[in-house]
Amino acid sequence: MLIDSYDRVVDYLRVSVTERCNFRCQYCMPEKPFSWVPKENLLSFEEMFEFMKVAIDEGVKKIRITGGEPLLREDLDKFLKMIYDYEPSIDLAMTTNAYLLKGTAQKLKDAGLKRINVSIDTLKPSVAQAIAGKDVLKNVLEGVDEALKVGLKVKVNMVPMKNMNFDEIIDVLEYSKERGMSIRFIEYMENSFARADISGVKSAELLEKLREHYEFSDDGFDGSSPSHYFTMKDDGYRFGIIEPYEDDFCKKCNRIRLTAEGNLIPCLYFDESMSIAESIKCGDIKAAAEVLKEVVRTKPEKNRWGGEESESSSRAFYETGG
């Protein structure tokens, strides 16, 4: 079992399979980066899988594939199947913008994928164009429909921003609710890659707006999920808010992140990481396991969003996978 220095069990690995993305979301990657990581520096799926086995053997129970946009990477279904075949009980999930999901959802499900989180920040084509930098909404919504049709569990992620999509939180919630998908509103996390004029919406303001429309109870936190949950009084629908600026946000953090280049990152906020690339490439599984333990040991107690020293991270979300 992997336990960090603050007694948190680390059993969740998020794997960014590519930093590349087909969207240019204003809060994440508004511009194409100056250069992409050269292809030869990326871990192959076989190499990533060698590390997944180490992580699973050490106690990881949940793996989420993310990016950049994970569906841009070829043979993703084969990678999922390798993980599933090694340990079918793994909670195998993916976070995607859903643009390429139509036509691939069945293949991913057949490979062992259980759940997906889809980013839906708006239901207006023009706003989607303004956020993502291109006309994406039709493909995204068709991708979601197909995922539901093939039986994948789908959760919706929305990042509310002032003067952008805050006025749509009820519409996106209702869209999700009608389709049996839960929704999590993610507070915008300031980072040096996002457009400078973005203004996020904190949970207090979100809740105020939601209270104008619904009556709901505050359920607090559930296990190690980062979501603060709420349940509607009339129909029991549950929604969540991710509040990284709150003091106790990191208390139950159970996750570490692997980048496409093989860097293991103990915290979404900080720049620190350790590479497993070399040990995996030369087949030194013991060394990779040592790096994993060291990264868990050095996992920081807290991020610094909301802290006194800094409120903006110099980490790119498209590199870490969010």
- In the complex with ligand SAM, the residue whose CB is nearer, 18 or 254, is 18
Shortest Cβ 161–ligand SAM spacing (Å): 9
At closest approach, how far in Å is the CB of 189 from ligand SAM? Answer: 4
Q: Three-class SS of residue 299?
A: coil
Cα gap 290→277, rounded to integer Å:
13
Q: Which one, 189 or 276, has the nearer CB to ligand SAM?
A: 189
Per-residue tokens: 182: 């839960």
> Residues 6 or more apart from 252 whose CB is under 8 A from it?
8, 221, 223, 224, 226
For residues 17 and 295, which CB has a smaller minimum distance to ligand SAM in the complex? 17
Nearer to ligand SAM (CB atom), residue 239 or residue 318 = 318
Two tokens, residue 218:
């505050």
Give the shortest CB-201-to-ligand SAM separation in angstroms.
11
Does position 12 interact with ligand SAM (CB under 6 A)? The reply is: no
Closest CB 319 distance from ligand SAM, rounded Å: 9
| Contact track, ligand SAM, 114-153, x by CB under 6 A | -----x----------------------------------
Residues in 158-177 that interact with ligand SAM by CB under 6 A: 159
Residue written as tokens 């208390």?
251
Out of 18, 26, 95, 165, which residue is the one contacting ligand SAM (CB under 6 A)? 95
Decide whether 2 or 159 has the Cβ nearer to ligand SAM. Answer: 159
- Identify residues 47-76 at the interface with ligand SAM (CB under 6 A): 66-67, 69
Residue whose C-alpha is closest to residue 205's, from 173, 160, 157:
160
- Residue span binding ligand SAM (CB under 6 A) among the ranges 38-46, 78-86, 186-194, 207-215: 186-194
Between 257 and 299, name the residue whose CB sits nearer to ligand SAM.
Answer: 257
The β-bridge relationship of strands 91-96 and 274-275 is unpaired
CB atoms inside a 10 Å sphere around CB 263 = 20
Q: Round to whole Å and give the CA distance between 251 and 220.
A: 13
* Binding to ligand SAM in span 269-308, by CB under 6 A: none
> Stretches 56-64, 147-155, 184-192, 246-254: which one binds ligand SAM (CB under 6 A)?
184-192
The C-alpha atoms of residue 14 and residue 255 are separated, in whole angstroms, by 7
Residue number with the shortest CB distance to ligand SAM?
322
Q: Where are the beta strands (DSSP E) in the chain?
A: 12-16, 62-66, 91-96, 115-119, 153-158, 182-186, 216-221, 227-232, 238-242, 255-258, 263-265, 274-275
What separation in angstroms does the CA of 294 have from each of 3, 49, 254, 299, 300?
11, 20, 15, 9, 12
Where do contacts with ligand SAM occur on this chain (CB under 6 A)? 21, 27-28, 66-67, 69, 95-97, 119, 157, 159, 186, 188-189, 191, 194, 317-318, 321-322
